[in-house]
Each structure stands twice: as structure tokens, then as C-alpha cells.
Amino acid sequence: MNKRSHSIAFWAGVAVFLVAVLSMTQIVRNEYPFFAGYVILQFIALAVAWTILGGYAGYVNFGTNAFFGVGVYTAVALFKATGAPLVVQIAAAAVVGMLLGFGVGLLTLRMRGIFFSIATIALAIIIETFVMNWRFVGGAAGIQLQRPPVMAPFDSYVKMLFFVQAILVVIAVGIARYIQNSRMGRGLQALRDDELAAECTGVPTLKLKLVACMISGALMSAVGAPAAMYLQYADPSSAFNLTYSVSALAMSLIGGTAHWIGPVLGAILLGSTQQFLAVTISSEVNVLVLGIMLVLFVVGAPKGIIGLLRPRYRLRAGGKQ
Amino acid sequence: MTIAAPDAPLLQVGTLTKTFGGFTALDNISVDIRKGERFGLIGPNGSGKTTLINCISGALKPQAGSVVFCGEDITQLSPHLRARRGIARSFQIPRPFKSMTVLENLMVGLDFAAAGSAAAEEEIAMSILTRMGLAAKAMAPSDTLSQVELRKMELARAMAVRPKLLISDEAMAGLSSSEVDEVLDLLISLGEEDITIIMIEHIMQAVMRFSERVMCLDAGKIIALGEPAEVMANKRVQEAYLGT
């Protein structure tokens, strides 16, 4: 297939996906599938966003929770202050996430590999501490939120959030796919392999890293924004939970980071397993299963699911030396 | 002073000094490289050859002095901007983009340093690979290449930047003598196309055959500069290499 028919197939797939999601919200009465499905969609979008920096550029970001939490609290603060609608909350979260991404991007000037990763963890802790002491949004005790009335054609807020999250998935995948097929994708791949060689071959490495950080950050924060409305509650230790970082990273690596479909597959696999286990056994087993699967994949399929499916994507699964 | 006269030097390195902590790697180096010149750079290990070309290509910023390329002061420019102005280099230890194929390695340079349409770019990349004798390996993943193929790919990738100045940092290190000749012939043929080449090399017969002028560094200072035979005959050069 050539590029053009690839594109047609892709956007047709997107259309089918959105129509399916929308009709599901109209047909299915039980709310539980949406409650669980929302989480899976959220992780798909997070993992795809993570891959833009962690996979394409090879800068392993452990601060997914920082971006997610910033998204949650941007939405909370905005909602409490102005009662802004969900769309505005998400857009504002994306802007704040992008600014935070710019800051993280500047870190890449001096830090690579494990040092960069540790710095992103520190960033998450700093922001969480700040929010814990911010009375307006409830501080460490958290804050209860009253959902506004749901908009037509949806009959429940969770169903609407499910659809919103599906749109965020489409946006994240669309952007990741665009980057992957563009000049920028090749530049990121080059700088991941060898930053100095890339720079000496004409790749503006700093600019590309900054753009990747900003896009990845904006998406992660946007994904976090509806979470407060989903739970009708927000508190710092769950909004900035390290599980988001570990999950996004594990899902991307298990799926494979060379292609946008990798994090999608990884998130579907891990996300649904987690949801299943949370119902059948306990939510604590999640983390154990995540760890075991990550180990199995690192040993057995270092290039992730897509590495197993298509040997052409022989790319290293993230991480710089 | 005439600017951009036809015979103005392509590259002017002026009183360049680079220190690492208390160690002076380059001490007040000044040299002009003429357009189209084949310039050999020699010196014992640790004499500052690679530091000098790192300062020229932008990987390092000197403490003092200037680098002027085509009449423009580029001392403060980052490496990718220098690449776009036509300075390309290979590395002493090959640094391929190892997750890419050979062709994709070249496409990076064509994409970012020498813009053009995608179809034309692939054609140019293939023609460079053909020249380098790597056409058959175009689709091969670059981490499957042999040492000599890697060296050639480094040069090919540098060529994809469409350089005016090509810096080859020990492109022949570790190669067999027939492979050395192969790479050397390539470099000489590139030199015939109006590309100015600075070659760092330890293999003296290659330096002698290649260079129009040779510069010898020792402990960060220029100890000889001139015709190859003249430099080889220089007593200080022999001392630097052989010890006293």
C-alpha cells in the first residue's frame, strides 16, 4: 500500500472507531463498561503521548504522573474558579502541560538517560507537594466536585467522558502518526540513536526535543483533565500517583515504541488485564502483573508486540545510553 | 581586506584555544584552508586533532579564537547550523543511526541539511551510495554492516549533507591495506568534485598520497605546516612521532 491509501485506511479506521464508541454510548444501558473502558482509553492516550518523547526520541520520562496531575488540577482549579465547561478545562490543561513540557525539554539540554528520568520523577514530587499545600483546590485532603448536567446526546456523564476520552485517543494517535511519518520523526529517531551524529548531520536536536516534550506533555495533561469529573473527586496522591508513569512506560515498551500502534496495543492488553484483575482478584494485583509482564517482554520480546509482529521495526525499546 | 575574493580561504581558523580544565588541548591555532584543497592533519595521539575538528564542526566551543567559514563567523553556531552551511564530518569511531537502514541514514542529512523533495532525495541518496560502493547495502540495517562498510557509510552520510567541507576523522583506522586504498580512492575522487577535504589520519602513506598540504599538531600546537614531503622531513615532526 502506498502512503495515500495508508492514510485513507487510517482515517476510515478512526471514523469507524468513533462511530462505534458513539453508538455504544447510545445503545448500552449498563454504565460499568464505560467506567472501565474510560480507564483503558485514558491509558491508550497516555501511552501514545509517552511514546512521542520516550519512544521516538528515547528520553524516558518518568514524570507522566506530573503531567497527568497537572492536567487534573488545571481542570479542578478552572472549574472551581469559573465553572468552565469540560472542553475548556481540557484545552487549558493542554496549554499548561505544554508549558511544563517546555521546562522538561530544557532539562534535556544537560541530562540524558537515567539522569533525565530521575529529574522527571523529582519534578512530579515538587508539583505534587505544591498542590498538597494549595488550599483553593483542597490541599492534601482533596476536593469533591459536583458534575454539571450532562450534554445531549448522552444520558450519563460517564458515557460522555468515555466519548471525550475516545476523541483524545484519536488526537494523540493522529499526532503520533503524523510525527512518525514526517521529517520530525526521522530527526527524533536520529537523535535517539546518536545525538551528536544527528546534530552534525543537520538535525536541530534541541528544537526537536523541545517540540516532542511539549506535544507529549500537552497530550498527557489533556488526558488527565477529565479525570476529576470522572471520579467527582481529586486528591494529590491519586492525581500524581506514580502508577500513571509506570503504566504509560510499561504499556509503551510492551507494545513497542517504534510505531504508534505499539503503545495502543500495549495499553489495550495491559489496561484490560488490569481492569479484569481489579474486578476478579484485587486492584493491588495490577501492579504485580504489570511488573511481571514488563519483565517477560523485556526478556522475551525486547521490541515489544510490534517487534514480534513485524521484524522490520527492529528499533530499540526506548532509552539512551 | 577583500571579502569573498575567488581565492579567499574556505575556512579560516583564527587563534583558536580550547582548554579542558587545566589541560590545554589547542593552543592558539591559526590556519587557513583553501577552497578545493586536500588537507592532511596529523599528529600523535592526544595532540588535539579531533579537538580541532570538533571546534570546526561545532561539537565543542573554543574558549578563544574564531572559526570563519565562507566569510561568515560561525564560532558560536551549533553543529546543525554548520552542517546546513556545508560542513560535514565523519567520526573516529563510527556513529551510525543504528536503528535505521543505510539509505535512511543518508536521508537524515538530505532531510535536514539539504532540503528537497522526497523522491529526489531518495535518488540523490542512491547515487551517493552507488559512488561509495554501498548501493547493494541500501536497505540493510546499519548495525549489520562490516567495519569498512560502516566507514564508507559515515562518509556517505556526510556527503548527504551536500558539504563544501568534508572532515574525515580517521576513516581508515582499523582497515586492511586494500580497504585503506579503497577508502582513500573515494576521498580523492570526492576532492576532485570541488569538495574541500580535511583528513585526519595515522596511516602515513595514505596521508602522503592524499594531501596537498599537511599540518602536524603536537600537544595542541602546530609544529609543521606545508607540503607533505617537507612536513615528513621536519625534525620536530619525527621527534613528535618517534620520541627523542
pLDDT in tens, A27-75: 888 888 898 899 999 999 999 999 999 999 999 999 999 999 999 999 9
Residue of chain B whose Cα is closest to the Cα of A182: B111
User: Which candidate, B165, B162, B164, B137, places its Cα nearest to that of B151?
Assistant: B137
Which three three-digit cell numbers place residue A19?
462511530
The answer as to whether A257 is a domain residue is: no
- B91 to A183: CB separation less than 8 angstroms, yes or no: no
**How would you write chain A as a 3-class SS string?**
CCHHHHHHHHHHHHHHHHHHHHHHHHHCCCCHHHHHHHHHHHHHHHHHHHHHHHHHCCCCCCCHHHHHHHHHHHHHHHHHHHCCCHHHHHHHHHHHHHHHHHHHHHHCCCCCHHHHHHHHHHHHHHHHHHHHCCHHHCHHHCEECCCCCCCCCCCCHHHHHHHHHHHHHHHHHHHHHHHHHCHHHHHHHHHHHCHHHHHHCCCCHHHHHHHHHHHHHHHHHHHHCCHHHHHCEECHHHHCCHHHHHHHHHHHHHHCCCCCHHHHHHHHHHHHHHHHHHHHCCCCHHHHHHHHHHHHHHHHCCCHHHHHHCCCCCCCCCCCC
Residue of chain A whose Cα is closest to the Cα of B79: A200
Q: Specify the pairing of strand B11-20 against strand B64-69.
A: antiparallel
For residue B99, the chain A residues in CB contact (below 8 A) are 189, 192-193, 258, 314-316
Q: Is B113 on the interface with A (CB under 8 A)?
A: yes
Residue of chain B whose Cα is closest to the Cα of A313: B99
- Look up the domain containing B198 and give its range: 1-86+164-243
Same domain? B150 vs B194: no
Predicted structure pTM score: 0.88
Same domain? B82 vs B170: yes
Same domain? B1 vs B69: yes
Q: What angle do CA B30, B35, B41 make, to 5 degrees?
A: 50
For residue B108, the chain A residues in CB contact (below 8 A) are 186-187, 190, 198, 201-203
Q: Is B108 on the interface with A (CB under 8 A)?
A: yes
Residue of chain B whose Cα is closest to the Cα of A199: B80
Q: Is A189 on the interface with B (CB under 8 A)?
A: yes
ipTM above 0.90, yes or no: no
Q: Is B111 on the interface with A (CB under 8 A)?
A: yes
Nearest to A314 among B89, B95, B141 (CB): B141
**Which parts of chain B sit beneath pLDDT 50?**
1-5
CA dist B26 → B14, B16, B29, B90, B221 (Å): 12, 7, 7, 20, 6
Same domain? B13 vs B69: yes
For residue B98, the chain A residues in CB contact (below 8 A) are 193-194
Nearest to B80 among A189, A202, A315 (CB): A202
The answer as to whether A123 is a domain residue is: yes
Residue of chain B whose Cα is closest to the Cα of A314: B99
For residue A198, the chain B residues in CB contact (below 8 A) are 97, 108
For residue B60, the chain A residues in CB contact (below 8 A) are none
Nearest to B99 among A200, A203, A314 (CB): A314
Q: Is B235 on the interface with A (CB under 8 A)?
A: no
For residue B157, the chain A residues in CB contact (below 8 A) are 201
Write out the H or E segment, with its range, that includes residue B16.
strand B11-20
The answer as to whether A288 is a domain residue is: no
The answer as to whether A197 is a domain residue is: yes
Q: Specify the pairing of strand B87-89 against strand B165-169.
A: parallel
- B112 to A204: CB separation less than 8 angstroms, yes or no: yes
How many domains does one find in chain B?
A: 2
> How many H-runs (helices) and E-runs (strands) does chain B carry?
9, 10
CA dist A137 → A69, A79, A90, A126, A236 (Å): 12, 10, 17, 16, 10
Nearest to A194 among B79, B95, B104 (CB): B95
Same domain? B1 vs B107: no
How close A194 comes to chain B (CA, Å)?
A: 6
The answer as to whether A118 is a domain residue is: yes
- Look up the domain containing A152 and give its range: 36-241
Write out the H or E segment, with its range, that includes residue B40.
strand B38-42
- Picking from B85, B111, B128, B155 by the largest number of A CB atoms within 10 A of its own CB, the best residue to mutate is B111
Angle between helices A64-82 and A86-107 (to 10 degrees): 140
- A189 to B57: CB separation less than 8 angstroms, yes or no: no
pLDDT of residue B2: 41
The answer as to whether A312 is a domain residue is: no
pLDDT of residue B55: 94
Same domain? B108 vs B127: yes
- A197 to B80: CB separation less than 8 angstroms, yes or no: no
Same domain? B157 vs B169: no
Same domain? B154 vs B168: no
Last residue of a domain, one of B162, B177, B210: B162
Whether residue A33 has a cis bond before it, omega within 30° of 0: no
The answer as to whether A271 is a domain residue is: no
The answer as to whether A26 is a domain residue is: no
Last residue of a domain, one of B111, B142, B162: B162
Same domain? B119 vs B72: no
Same domain? B68 vs B170: yes
- A190 to B108: CB separation less than 8 angstroms, yes or no: yes
**Which parts of chain A sit beneath pLDDT 50?**
313-321
Same domain? B1 vs B82: yes
What does the alpha-carbon distance between residue B111 and residue B121 come to, in Å, rounded to a whole number?
8
Same domain? B111 vs B75: no
Q: What angle do CA A16, A18, A20 make, to 5 degrees?
A: 65
- Picking from A200, A210, A257 by the largest number of B CB atoms within 10 A of its own CB, the best residue to mutate is A200
